[in-house]
Chain A
Amino acid sequence: MRGKDLEGMARRIRGKVIEMSHRAETPHLGSALSCVDILTAAYGSVLRIDPGAPADPGRDRFILSKGHAATALYAALAFHGFFPESLLDTYASHGSRLEEHPTPNCVPGVEAATGSLGHGLPLGLGMALASRIQERPYRVYVTMSDGECNEGSSWEAAMMAPAQGVVNLCAIVDFNRWQATGRSCEVMALCPLREKWQAFGWSATEVDGHDVKALAELMQRVPDGSGKPVAIIANTVKGKGVSFMEDDNNWHYRVPTADELSAARKELGLS
């Protein structure tokens, strides 16, 4: 997709995510909005994956380790043709395949059961190791939250990947600086985050996590020639895209009213 199309896609995903949260009365809207541009870059321009053959062994793997942002993943997958968009309207309703946290095989394109934090990176590491032995040059992208970097299991994998010389693994941290109940650099000594990944042996870069083009360029350069796994620290704003939600952590749990939904859609140029 081109720049303008990508931007339009990001706005569509945001609008849908807000609508799904409103309709199903589910939380984590701020967390979903902060990673929309990462998903847009991934599915719109980086991933070598065919929605018509989502289980192709040669595909790039994408794991949304921050499973609580599932609405953004579902919307991105539907808008890229992995499953009919009408399924999004069933989200979190009785009998639907779309749960609040993605379950494996719920829809094509979902690689793992996420939602419990700290699972995606070691899982992706296993997949990346498999590609090397099977000589299938796919890449594995794991999108994590900054809060998820609280989990020790994330760092177990972070230490192991460089030791194994894994280069086709890319961790993208959606660094929106909030976790459920506080600032992520205050709850734990998370900062300086890029330097931490670097010290763990990763090729770590910071980027504006809402600049789809810049994100896509970095993600496309995996492996990046450094001989190390790649960490992208995506500086983001929680609730990005809607003025009254941006950087307001109430939207970790708040559900938008009908008025707020229409105001948000208007801001996004969708009404």
Chain B
Amino acid sequence: MAPASSRMRDVFLASVLARMKTDRRLFFLSADFGSPVLDVVARDYPDRFINVGIAEQNLINVATGLALEGFVVVAYAIAPFLSMRCYEQIRVNLGILSQVRPLNVNMVGVGAGLSYDVSGPTHQALEDLSIMRTLPNVEVLSPADGASAGAIAEYCLEHSGPKYVRLDGKPLASLYETGAAVNVEMGFHEWRRGTDVCLVATGYMVHTALKAAQILEAENLSVGVVDMFALSKYKASELSDVLGHYQTVITIEEGFVGKGGLDACLNEALGARGGQRVHALGLPSRYSFRVGDRDEMLRDSGLGEVSIAAKARECLRR
């Protein structure tokens, strides 16, 4: 039974910590970024934990060197720095090199979307989904709660290949009872089934989508909700089957819209079917310098549940 809420980071790292004990191949690198669970990892496994410094480029290459020698590596940092400060390192080592050499490097970034709300745009991650999805050979994973973060952690440690895992910076309400409910290889989870419109969301926006669905349900609209937690490797035909009978599909992401993130992912998945309309919701292509809390900022950009419900109605009227 899941707690009422949890931090994805804590659940993910607890899985890693448990594995450190049994799997001698597991190595943890942090770019001077911490957590209470990580303090335990550092204390109990000093030979397999290294703080590489505030040096993300170094983080990726040292991780690659270790992975080439057979280690399963977790590379942990703040999401925007992990995905953008060292993008070329990721491309050369985890994109190019991994195509011919088996590597298990798991980039774990904390601070999905606007979750570091008052920290400002330098610390927010609105580009990471699209730029990471662009890279061949890199899996992109974006859980919506603690249990799914834990399931993704288990998946990462067991499956080879480079991965980018986008974790929220705030504690979030639990959605899944346990990690066992999350089929990472499927890549998505159908929360509700309907007939009129399907809201496909990732990360924090899954919570908002579920709220929007309640609003619409009260108006006798039949609404589906899908949590898309794998954005590059997922079962496309199963996804297409789930979404196929809806008149309208709306994607909702806490990232720049129309730039290659979740919306592009769904267009890819449904492209072959044709005729089905995908409406994309996300943040507009500009940075916000106004201090505000996350929900307020999202509402301002039309990503609150009320606006999402309104968008769904509008789509259905067309």
Given that A116-B92, A153-B89, A156-B53 are known contacts, is A123 also in contact with B61, CB under 8 Å in the complex?
Answer: yes
Does the CB pair A123–B57 fall under 8 Å? Answer: no
Does the CB pair A122–B62 fall under 8 Å? Answer: yes
Which stretch in B15-23, B66-74, B252-260 binds the other chain? B66-74
A190 at the interface (CB under 8 A from B): no
Given that A113-B96, A153-B89 are known contacts, is A133 also in contact with B62, CB under 8 Å in the complex?
Answer: no
Does the CB pair B70–A130 fall under 8 Å? Answer: yes
Contact of B66 among A103, A116, A130 (CB under 8 A): A130
In the assembled complex, which residues on chain B have CB atoms less than 8 Å from the CB atom of A137?
Answer: none
Does the CB pair B57–A130 fall under 8 Å? Answer: no
Contact of B62 among A57, A118, A157 (CB under 8 A): A157
Does the CB pair B89–A156 fall under 8 Å? Answer: no
A123 to B47, CA, bound (A): 18
Does the CB pair B97–A104 fall under 8 Å? Answer: yes
Contact of B92 among A119, A124, A127 (CB under 8 A): A119
The number of residues on chain B lying at the interface, defined by a beta carbon within 8 Å of a beta carbon of chain A, is 29
B233 at the interface (CB under 8 A from A): no
Given that A113-B97, A124-B65 are known contacts, is A156 also in contact with B58, CB under 8 Å in the complex?
Answer: yes
Chain B residue nearest in CB terms to A159: B53
In the assembled complex, which residues on chain B have CB atoms less than 8 Å from the CB atom of A96?
Answer: none
B30 at the interface (CB under 8 A from A): no
B100 at the interface (CB under 8 A from A): yes
A116 to B93, CA, bound (A): 11
If over half of A's interface residues share one DSSP class (helix, strand or loop), that class is named, otherwise mixed; here it is helix
In the assembled complex, which residues on chain B have CB atoms less than 8 Å from the CB atom of A131?
Answer: 69
If over half of B's interface residues share one DSSP class (helix, strand or loop), that class is named, otherwise mixed; here it is helix
Chain A contact-residue range equals 20 to 34
In the assembled complex, which residues on chain B have CB atoms less than 8 Å from the CB atom of A123?
Answer: 61-62, 64-65, 68, 93
B63 at the interface (CB under 8 A from A): yes
In the assembled complex, which residues on chain B have CB atoms less than 8 Å from the CB atom of A104?
Answer: 96-97, 100-101
Given that A113-B92, A127-B65 are known contacts, is A153 also in contact with B50, CB under 8 Å in the complex?
Answer: no
In the assembled complex, which residues on chain A have CB atoms less than 8 Å from the CB atom of B47?
Answer: 133
A134 at the interface (CB under 8 A from B): yes
In the assembled complex, which residues on chain B have CB atoms less than 8 Å from the CB atom of A157?
Answer: 58, 61-62
Render B273-285 as a binary contact track against A, CB cut-off 8 A, 1 for contact: 0000000000000
Does the CB pair B58–A160 fall under 8 Å? Answer: yes
Given that A116-B88, A119-B89, A153-B58 are known contacts, is A130 also in contact with B65, CB under 8 Å in the complex?
Answer: yes
Distance to closest chain B CB from A219 (angstroms): 20
In the assembled complex, which residues on chain B have CB atoms less than 8 Å from the CB atom of A73?
Answer: none
A164 to B88, CA, bound (A): 25
Q: List the count of A-B residue pairs having beta carbons below 8 Å apart.
A: 95
Given that A156-B55, A160-B55 are known contacts, is A130 also in contact with B71, CB under 8 Å in the complex?
Answer: yes
Does the CB pair B58–A129 fall under 8 Å? Answer: no
Q: Which of B27-78 contact A (CB under 8 A)?
A: 27, 47-48, 50, 52-53, 55, 57-58, 60-71
Distance to closest chain A CB from B26 (angstroms): 11
A134 to B100, CA, bound (A): 23
Given that A118-B57, A119-B93, A160-B55 are known contacts, is A126 also in contact with B62, CB under 8 Å in the complex?
Answer: yes
Contact of A125 among B62, B70, B92 (CB under 8 A): B62
In the assembled complex, which residues on chain A have CB atoms less than 8 Å from the CB atom of B97?
Answer: 104, 112-113
In the assembled complex, which residues on chain B have CB atoms less than 8 Å from the CB atom of A119?
Answer: 61, 89, 92-93
Distance to closest chain A CB from B250 (angstroms): 40
Contact sample, A vs B, 24 pairs, CB 8 Å cutoff: A57-B69, A104-B96, A104-B100, A104-B101, A113-B92, A113-B93, A118-B57, A122-B58, A122-B62, A122-B65, A126-B63, A126-B64, A126-B65, A127-B68, A127-B69, A130-B70, A133-B27, A133-B47, A133-B48, A134-B69, A156-B53, A156-B58, A157-B58, A160-B58
- 9 further contact pairs, Cβ within 8 A, besides A103-B96, A134-B69, A153-B58: A113-B92, A122-B58, A122-B60, A122-B61, A126-B62, A126-B66, A130-B71, A133-B48, A160-B55
A interface residues with partner B (beta carbon < 8 Å): 57, 103-105, 111-113, 116, 118-119, 121-131, 133-134, 152-153, 156-157, 159-160, 163-164
